[in-house]
Structure 1
Amino acid sequence: MLLPLIILLASCILIPLTIRCLSGNLRAEKTPANAPDSGRLLPPGPRGLPILGYLPFIGPNLHQDFMNLALHYGPIFKLSLGRKLCVIVSSPALAKQIVRDHDVTFANRNPNVAAGVFSYGGRDIAFSPYGAEWRLLRKIFVHKMQSKQSMDSFYPLRRKEVRKMVAELYNGGGGGGGEVDVGRVAFTTVIGMISGMFWGGTLGNGDGDDDVAKVVGGEFRSTASKLVEVLGRPNVSDFFPILARFDLQGVKKEMKRVSGGMEKIFDFVIDRCIDDMMNKPRSDDDHNGQQDFLHSLLEFKDQDTGNSITRQQIKAMLMDIVIGGTDTSSTTIEWAMSELIQHPEVKKIAQQELTRVIGPDSVMEESHIPNLPFLHAIVKETLRLHPVAPLLLPRCPTKGCHVGGHFIPEGTKVFLNVWAMHRDPEFWEDPTSFHPERFLNENDEQSTRSLDYLGGSFHYLPFGSGRRICAGLPLGERMVMYVLATLLHMFDWELPEGVVADTKEKFGVVLEKVNPLVLVSSPRLPNLSLYK
C-alpha cells in the first residue's frame, strides 16, 4: 500500500524543500517532533529518515506494525510519518488517561485531505471541532436517529431490506447451492437499510415514487462504495501538508467528484422532502407510521435557541452515516461469518439458539435480539479479534499534555491501537483464538461477561470511548445482529469445494478481509414460503 507512495515521495522530494526555501519559511514551520520544549520528555520511538520519517519502514498493516513496535519501545511510543508526529498507545491504562482523564484535551480530530472534503471542512459529527456546534449535531443525531423510539419507528424499513436479502439469496442461487459473496450481500443490505431510514418516508409512496426510489437507491449504493474506496487511498498530502496544494495523486479532486455526486443525491431527496412537508402536512399516520431521518432533521428546532440546523449540516450528518455505518457493519458481518465457517461447532450452537428462540416456522425479527446471548457473544468476540477501526480515528490534543509521564505536543496525531489491546494476554486468555464463550463465563475473574460497547472497560474498545465514542453504535449493533441472525437462521453455509478459509487482514478505512468471503448457501428451514 505504501510502496507507491514512497516512490512518489522520492520523486518529488525536492519540491517541499524548494518551496520552503523560496518562501523563506524554512524555520517558521512548527516541528514539535524535532524541537520539544526543554524538560518535556517525548515518548520513545524509532528513528526515521530525514524528511520521510518512518514511512519507508511501515508495511500495509499499520496496526500489526504498531503492535510489534510497542513490544520494543513500550505501550506508548512516537514516530514521524513524513512531517506528521504520531503517538501510538497500546495500553488500556494509558488509553484511559486519554479518553477519560484528558478527554476534553483529546476530543478533537485532525481529518486527512479526503475526509476534509466529504465532511465540508470538518462540519460533521466525526471531525467537527469539539464545541457547541459538535454537541448540537451529536445531540440531534442521538435523539433523532439513535433513540430506541426512533430506531423502533425505522424498523419496518430495515425489515423490508432484510426480507429482500433473503428472497434474493434464495432466488439467486441459495435455493440450489449457489455461491454468495457474503460481504457484498451484507453491504447491499446495510446500505439499503440506511437509505430507507434516510428517506424511506419521502420516496416510495406512490405516484411513481417507487421507480424514483430504485434509481436513487442504486446511485446511492454505487456512490457510497466509491466514497469509501477513495477515503482509504494513501495520500502524500496527508504526510506532507505543504504538498497539499498540488494534490499530486488527485485524491482531493476525486473525493470532490465522488462526494459531489453524493451531495446531488442528498439535495434531490432533501428538496423532495421539503416539498412533501409543504404540500402534505404531516400527521401521525403519514407514511404508514414511518418517519424517515430527513423529516426529523428538517423539523428539528433546538429547544434552547429555537434554531434549526443548516442544509450543509444535514448533508454532513448524512455523509457521516454513509461512511460510518456501511462498511463497518457489513465488514463485521463478513468477519463473523468467516470465523463461524472455521468454527462449525460454534455455528451449530448459534443456529440451535436461533431455532429455540425464533422457531423453525418463523423468520428473524429485531424483537428476538435481546434473547440471543450466544449470538451477542459471537459479535463481541468478532469485534475483539477484528475491530473495524483497529486504530480508531486519531485524536489531536488542543494543547500539550502528559500521558504516562511523556509529553504529547499540541497537534500530534494520537492513535489508540485497540487491535493490540484486544490481544493483550494480560487481559485475555488465549487472546488470538476465537472463543465467544469468554463473554458468557459468569466465573471469569476479568468479568468479560459484563463487557459492553460503551467504552468503560479500556481493554475492550471496539467503538472507542469518551466524548468521541462512535455515535452510531446503537444502530450499528442492531443492523449487525439482525442481518447476521437472519443469515444463520434462514440458511446453512459452507465453503465452496476446494476452497480453504483464511482470516488474512487488510488495513484501510475499515479492517477488511484480504480475500472476500465466498460461501455456498442452502435453505435451512423446511417452510420454503418463508423465503419469498
Structure 2
Amino acid sequence: MEATILLTMVLTTFLLFLFLRATFHRGQKYNLPPGPKPWPVIGNFDLIGALPHRSIHELSKKYGPLMHLRFGSFPLIIGSSVDMARYFLKTQDILYVDRPKTASGKYTTYNYADMTWSPYGAYWRQARRICLTQLFNPRRLALLEHIRADEVKALMCDLFAVSGHAVHLSRDHMSMVSMNVITRMVMGKRLFVDGVAEGPVPSLKVFRWMLDELFLLNGVLNIGDWIPWLDWMDLQGYVRRMKKIGKLFDAFNEHVLDEHSGERGRGEGEAARDMVDVLMEKANDNALEVQYGRIGVKAFTQDLIAGGTESSAVTVEWAMSELMRRPATFDVATEELDRVVGRARWVTEKDMPNLPYIEAIVKESMRMHPIVPLLTPRLAREDATIDGYDIPKGARVLINVWAIGRDPELWDAPEEFKPERFLGSKMGVIGQDLELLPFGSGRRMCPGYNLGLKVVHLSLANLLHGFTWRLPEGVRKEDLSMEEVFGLSTGRKYPLQVVAKPKLPNHLYV
C-alpha cells in the first residue's frame, strides 16, 4: 500500500516537472509581447478579478496595448487599441478566425455546432452564409417589421398598466419584448402567453434562469479550459452546471423542432416562414452538412433565441441607466422626439433616420457599456509576428473592447456619458470603425447586428417618447449603482428600478 502511494507521488511529481519544463521552454522559444511574469502552473490567473475586462485594462496601462498573459498552459495575447483590433480583426483576420476548444462550447452548444464556438471551416462558412442571406437579410427583416412594432407597442401598454409604480425595467419588461420579438421571428409564435408555455420549460421564470445560466457559463474563466490536465476535477463546478443547462436547452430545442416537423399549412410566402422553417429546410438540403443535420438546427435555434433576447434588453437598460443620471440629456432626447414624431403617435422604424440624438445615445451606451467587453477568444492558427513580437500558433487572442472605448487618445472625457460626441459623426457600430465594436468585426462579427440595432433603437425611442421617468422615492441619481456582472454578456449587477408616467394621449396605450 505504502509503495503504491510512493509510486503515485513520484509519478505525479515527474509529470509536473515535465509540464513545467515544457511550459518554460515554450515561453522561451518566442519573443512574446510584454506582460507580467507568470506563476508556475496557474500563470497569471491571480491578477484577474471578478471583472476581467477591467483587470486586463489596468494591466495594459503598464504593459501596453499589445500584452501577453499566461493562463495555465496557454499564452493569452491581449489587444487593447484600435491598431491591435485592426491587425487581429481585419488585416490578419484569417489567422485568428478560429475558436479555442472550451467546455462551454462542448457541453452547451452541441459540441461546437453553433455560430459562436464552431471551428472555422466548411460548416461554419455555410452556416454564416445562411445567417446573412436567409435569416438576417434586409428584405426578411423588413417583412417582419410588424412583429417588432407589435411587441414594442405591447411593452408600452404593459408599462402604462403599472405607471406610478416602481418596476425593474429590463427584468420585468425589456427582456419580455426582446424575447417575444425573437421567438416570433425564430419560432413563429410567442414563447410565453401570460408567463406560461407548452413544452419542457414550464414558466418564464425558469427560462430566464436558463438564459442567465447559459450566458454566465459561456463567459466564465473555467480552469479546465486553461489547465487541461485539471479538467477532470471540475474544481469550480462549472462543467457540471454546463452539462445540466445543455440538457435543459436540448429538451427545449427538441420540442421546438418537433412542433415544426408536425406543422402543415401555416401559410405561404416568405413572411409566413419563420427562421426554424428556413434552418430545417437547409438541413434537409444538406446545406448544414450531413454530419450536423438536426443538431445544427438546434444549435442555431438556441443561438438565435438566447442571443436575441439578452443583448437588446441589456443595451436598453444601460442606456436608460445613464439617462436617469443625466436629466439634461433626457430632455434633449425627448425634445427631438416631440419635434420629429409629435405626440399623436408612436415612433416607427421609419422615423429613426430623423432621430440622430437617439442614435447617438445608443452609440454612447455601446461605447461605455459594451455587452461583450472582451470579444469571444480567437485562436492563432499559425505563428505570426506583429511589431517585432511573436504570436505563437495555439495562442488565445482577446480584444478588450471595453478598454478601447475608454482610450483617452480616442475619446474626449472617456468616463463621461456624452452622446453629443456622435452628432455629425459618421462613426458606425457595424465593424468598420474599430473605435466602436459592440458587435465585433471581421469574419466572426455577430451576424444579427442589424436586427439587434432595430430592436434597441425602436424600444429606447418609444420608452423615451411615451413616458417621463424617475427613480423610486428615496433614490438619488447620485446613488444609482452602475456596477457590472461579467459573463458572455455584461449587464447591470443590480437591475434598474424606475417609475414611469405616461405623457401621450391615453388611447395610444390601448
- TM-score (normalizing by structure 2): 0.89
Once the two structures are TM-superposed, the CA of residue 24 in structure 1 deviates from its matched residue by 5.1
**Corresponding position: 1:332 with 2:318:** no
Match of 1:198 in 2: 186
Once the two structures are TM-superposed, the CA of residue 131 in structure 1 deviates from its matched residue by 1.5
> How big is each residue's C-alpha offset from its partner over 1:254-273, in whole Å with a ceiling of 9 and x where there is no partner?
22222222221221121111
**Corresponding position: 1:96 with 2:86:** yes
Once the two structures are TM-superposed, the CA of residue 372 in structure 1 deviates from its matched residue by 1.6
Would the aligned equivalents of 1:204 and 1:213 in 2 still touch at CA under 8 Å?
no
| Number of equivalences | 495
CA RMSD of aligned residues (A): 2.9
Would the aligned equivalents of 1:187 and 1:326 in 2 still touch at CA under 8 Å?
yes
Range with bigger deviation, 162-171 or 219-228? 219-228
Once the two structures are TM-superposed, the CA of residue 26 in structure 1 deviates from its matched residue by 5.4
Match of 1:293 in 2: 275
Match of 2:72 in 1: 82
Unaligned 5+ segments in structure 2 are 1-7
Once the two structures are TM-superposed, the CA of residue 382 in structure 1 deviates from its matched residue by 0.7
Once the two structures are TM-superposed, the CA of residue 87 in structure 1 deviates from its matched residue by 1.4
SS of the counterpart of 1:321?
A: helix
Match of 2:169 in 1: 182
Q: Aligned equivalents of 1:165 and 1:305: distance in 2? A: 37
Match of 1:158 in 2: 148
Give 2:18's aligned amino acid: R
SS of the counterpart of 1:27?
A: helix
Alpha-carbon spacing, 1:19–1:54, altered in 2? closer, same or farther (3 Å)? farther
SS of the counterpart of 2:413?
A: coil
Q: Trace 1:87-486 onto structure 2 (pairs within 5 A).
A: 87-171=77-161, 173-174=162-163, 177-184=164-171, 185-200=173-188, 212=198, 218=204, 220-276=207-263, 279-280=264-265, 282-284=267-269, 289-300=271-282, 310-441=293-424, 449-486=425-462
Match of 1:531 in 2: 509
SS of the counterpart of 1:35?
A: helix
**Corresponding position: 1:520 with 2:508:** no
- Identity percentage over the alignment? 33
Would the aligned equivalents of 2:23 and 2:73 in 1 still touch at CA under 8 Å?
no
Unaligned 5+ segments in structure 1 are 1-16, 442-448
Alpha-carbon spacing, 1:478–1:311, altered in 2? closer, same or farther (3 Å)? same
SS of the counterpart of 1:104?
A: helix
Q: Aligned equivalents of 1:528 and 1:433: distance in 2? A: 36
Alpha-carbon spacing, 1:521–1:458, altered in 2? closer, same or farther (3 Å)? same
Q: Aligned equivalents of 2:313 and 2:491: distance in 1? A: 10
Q: Aligned equivalents of 1:215 and 1:117: distance in 2? A: 19
Q: Aligned equivalents of 2:370 and 2:499: distance in 1? A: 26
Once the two structures are TM-superposed, the CA of residue 246 in structure 1 deviates from its matched residue by 2.8
Would the aligned equivalents of 2:80 and 2:399 in 1 still touch at CA under 8 Å?
yes
Would the aligned equivalents of 1:495 and 1:520 in 2 still touch at CA under 8 Å?
yes
Give 1:71's aligned amino acid: K
Would the aligned equivalents of 1:203 and 1:213 in 2 still touch at CA under 8 Å?
no
Give 1:271's aligned amino acid: D
> How big is each residue's C-alpha offset from its partner over 1:49-76, in whole Å with a ceiling of 9 and x where there is no partner?
2222222232222212212211111111
Once the two structures are TM-superposed, the CA of residue 106 in structure 1 deviates from its matched residue by 0.3
Alpha-carbon spacing, 1:264–1:470, altered in 2? closer, same or farther (3 Å)? same
Give 2:437's aligned amino acid: L
SS of the counterpart of 1:415?
A: strand
Once the two structures are TM-superposed, the CA of residue 160 in structure 1 deviates from its matched residue by 2.9
Once the two structures are TM-superposed, the CA of residue 323 in structure 1 deviates from its matched residue by 3.8
Match of 2:37 in 1: 47
**Corresponding position: 1:496 with 2:472:** yes
SS of the counterpart of 1:367?
A: helix
Once the two structures are TM-superposed, the CA of residue 469 in structure 1 deviates from its matched residue by 1.1
**Corresponding position: 1:21 with 2:12:** yes
Would the aligned equivalents of 2:217 and 2:238 in 1 still touch at CA under 8 Å?
yes
Once the two structures are TM-superposed, the CA of residue 118 in structure 1 deviates from its matched residue by 1.5
Alpha-carbon spacing, 1:202–1:52, altered in 2? closer, same or farther (3 Å)? closer
